[in-house]
Amino acid sequence: MAEVNPFSLSGTQYSQHWPSLVSPDYWLNKGFILATGQPKAAWRWAPGTTFLSTQRAVLTGVVLYLTMVFGGQMIMKKVAKPIRMKRVTQLHNLTLTLISGFLLLAFLEQCLPVWRDKGFFFTICGAESWTQPMEVIYYLNYLTKWLEFIDTILLVLKKKRLEFLHYYHHSLTMVLCFEELLGRVSVAWIICSINLFVHVIMYYYYFLASCGKKVWWKEIVTTLQIAQFVVDLGLCYFCLYTHITFHAVVSLPSVGADCRGTRLAAYYGCVLLSSYLLLFVQFFIKTYIKEEKGGYLGFRPMNYDDLKAKKPVEQKVEKTE
């Protein structure tokens, strides 16, 4: 979208906006000092140098991931019993719940003060809204997409059937986060924040399920995912339209401003998120909307499993009568 300009490092020392005990920025800085011996403000995203920052690395990751999906399924067909790694699954789901919550708070700590002082439009389009503290969080969020590949490994080992939506979403979301880093798309912060909010709920649901808990609100997770993409697409198309109309040769209705980020990243995000919305709606209809008479539309009642177990018996009685 708009031409990418280097961000200013002025004021990065003021990136901690909350008290130290509850400030993600404070703890991130402590983590950087412990791991690298340097403060967080010294870190830079450098394509070709930073870990997993090249297109070759991303492409290799996608190819290896898909190879693991299809190759792993072929191998597991020859294995007599599923490999259930209950403790690993629990730890994985709980870890991603906590990481997602931490990164969500990190985004909010940086963006809410800017939203308050300069307005919402500046946070999603402003050329100076992409800052070094934000770039750190974007990069960490990008790394979590690699960590989420473990979801698929665990499902393959359990010999679970994988929907196309599962591996399509996992692989290309990692690519999307990489493109957002390359393109420095300002609106990405709210897309990432909503996604992290949904992931807190989703991975907590998975954690409870892996602990053997009966959780009735699976439909709510899918509904939140669909709502997420509706909001994301509204923002993405608005920002892309704002950019196009700002640079249009002919006069078009516009807000008279530009949006930061590369056009390639904007196009990729709009197309990919549109496909996600269609696939998740299709999944919702297939999974939760019952076609038979008397079925449930949308959320099932809490005693749905009991009702479902009784239904075949009731139908059999009707036939014998």
pLDDT digits (tens, 9 = 90+) for 183-210: 999 999 999 999 999 999 999 999 999 9
For residue 309, the model assigns a pLDDT of 53
Q: What is the pLDDT of residues 310-321, one digit of tens each?
A: 554 433 333 333
pLDDT class of 278 with cuts at 50, 70, 90: very high
Mean pLDDT of all residues in 147-156: 95
For residue 293, the model assigns a pLDDT of 37
pLDDT above 70 for 308: no
pLDDT class of 22 with cuts at 50, 70, 90: very high
Instruction: Give CA–CA dist 178/168, Å, rounded.
Output: 16
pLDDT above 70 for 50: yes
Question: Considering the entire predicted model, what is its pTM?
Answer: 0.85
Of 1-5, 81-85, 232-236, 269-273, give the lowest mean pLDDT range. Answer: 1-5
> What own/partner pairs with CB < 8 Å and gap ≥ 24 does 224-233 have?
224/198, 225/198, 225/280, 226/277, 226/280, 226/281, 226/284, 228/194, 228/195, 228/198, 229/273, 229/276, 229/277, 229/280, 230/277, 231/194, 232/191, 232/194, 232/273, 233/270, 233/273, 233/274, 233/277
Mean pLDDT of all residues in 286-292: 68
Report the chain's mean pLDDT, rounded to a whole number: 86
For residue 6, the model assigns a pLDDT of 44
For residue 193, the model assigns a pLDDT of 97
Of 13-27, 161-175, 288-302, give the lowest mean pLDDT range. Answer: 288-302
